[in-house]
Structure 1
Amino acid sequence: MTPHIRLISATAISIEPVQQAFQALWPEARLSNLLDDSLLDDLRTAGHLTPAITRRIDQLATLSAEAGASGILFTCSAFGPAIEAARDKLNIPVYKPYEAMVSHAVARGERLGLIATYTNTIEEMREAIQTQSTVTTKPVHLETRLAKGAIDALESGDRKTHDALIVECARELHDCDILLLAQFSMAPAATIIEPQAGQTVLTSTACAVELFKQQLGSSFR
């Protein structure tokens, strides 16, 4: 039986990078997609996570489970608390896009450099890293950079500028031993970052795929 991973997205630009990661790292998994590209607009308009948006996240997760998904991966980092609430109601693995990367980075690094293209993502991931550090009693130092203008460039079809802005941020974090590229849409930029000696570049896509493969791969052999 083939494992079925449902990808739930709020923007189309997150889908291809994670599909590529699955193809490279776990091609046996069967992928399906749900896209609600009004979610981000509604979140931006409201300025915060509303009960209505939280209900919609819950409905998307429930629909995916009822469709037979073995696991659910949300590809957008802006809906963390809503994803957690939806996960509590289901009996299959449900993950936020950056969870696996945060666990990996805290376990293996001391000076972490986080790059994101959304301000809200930085704050949400800062909290996630602090929580993971506390739970594992592993102290870490975190530096963050916002790649200003990158997401606007990508949404207008200019990936070259988007990736160049991320590389510029990476250069500023040369003292960090692990660089974290926060969003799925940022993953392709990892191929053009030139890490410092001893520095590791993590993408949320690859870490998420590896986590699902570890959890579900042996169950479907």
Structure 2
Amino acid sequence: MIESKPLIAMIHAVPAAHRIAHEAFAQEFPQATVWNVLDDRLLVDANAAGGLTDALRRRMLRLIGHVLDGGAQGLLLTCSSYGEVVDTARALWDVPVLKSDESMFKAALAGPYRRVAVVASVPPAVPAAVAQLEALIPAVRPNRPVDIVTALSEDAAGATDPATAARHLAEALQAADGTDVDAVLLAQYSLTPARDALAALLGVPVLDGAGAAARELRGLLLPAEQPAAPAPAVTP
């Protein structure tokens, strides 16, 4: 039986994701006890190697094993670049293990959106996010096509405030012919602070992964207490 305050582990590759995910769980899943594990070389080493290597996959699996052996009843990987390791973890452990943006993608595909944009500020996040989104289409949305646009703004990674990050992302979307999308999906937790400002610039819903993941884990572990999911943020 799941305890009333389930232990949820989160493995982070960047410090900013720790704060953002923690805030999302405090709002969406306050019953959870959160355990944060940070390896701030995960993304740096993946970038240097040009992607995930076998050694990096094994390293992530060791971290996953560490928290699950420590009693975690649910796990969220907040780095999209390591999402593929979750498939292996699910085969090894009988505990809910979520990829960073999986819940957000499922919510987007279940919605009415016909054209969506995936935006990021670091190059590895783009193909990793698109791969996750496309892999979910047959199960979540088999009979309705969806057009996916991608936009990368490395300038957004260096922005000093959310409004500036949002402006850089909007400019990247414009350059990618993505201004006529029905929704925007943030491929990194570090972009979450720019969500509302980007929605204001574009006038469409902007979805983030942290809140969606918190809601899904709450529904899996405390189904009797699961409220209706709130609508995504959008400009009035």
Please say if residues 61 and 89 of structure 2, whose CA atoms lie closer than 8 Å, have aligned partners that are also in contact.
Answer: yes
> Match for 1:216 among 212, 216, 221?
221
State whether structure 2 residue 165 is matched by structure 1 residue 159: no
Residue 148 of structure 1: how far off its partner (Å): 2.5
> Match for 1:188 among 163, 187, 193?
193
> What residue is the counterpart of 1:120 in the other structure?
124
Question: Judging changes above 3 Å, is the alpha-carbon distance between structure 1 residues 220 and 68 closer, same or farther for their aligned structure 2 residues?
Answer: farther
How many residue pairs were aligned?
Answer: 216
Tell me the percent identity: 29
> What residue is the counterpart of 2:234 in the other structure?
none
Please say if residues 101 and 207 of structure 1, whose CA atoms lie closer than 8 Å, have aligned partners that are also in contact.
Answer: yes
Residue 169 of structure 1: how far off its partner (Å): 4.1
Residue 167 of structure 1: how far off its partner (Å): 4.3
> Match for 1:177 among 179, 182, 186?
182
Segments of 5+ residues of structure 2 without an aligned counterpart are 227-236
Segments of 5+ residues of structure 1 without an aligned counterpart are none
> What residue is the counterpart of 2:79 in the other structure?
76
State whether structure 2 residue 39 is matched by structure 1 residue 33: no
TM-score normalised over the length of structure 2: 0.84
> Match for 1:17 among 20, 32, 52?
20
**CA–CA separation in structure 2 for the residues paired with 1:6 and 1:128:** 21
> What residue is the counterpart of 2:58 in the other structure?
55
Please say if residues 184 and 204 of structure 1, whose CA atoms lie closer than 8 Å, have aligned partners that are also in contact.
Answer: yes
Question: Judging changes above 3 Å, is the alpha-carbon distance between structure 1 residues 24 and 76 closer, same or farther for their aligned structure 2 residues?
Answer: same
1:96-135 superposed Cα distances (whole Å, 9 cap, x missing partner):
1011111111111211111111222111222222222233
TM-score normalised over the length of structure 1: 0.89
Residue 214 of structure 1: how far off its partner (Å): 1.1
> What residue is the counterpart of 1:106 in the other structure?
109
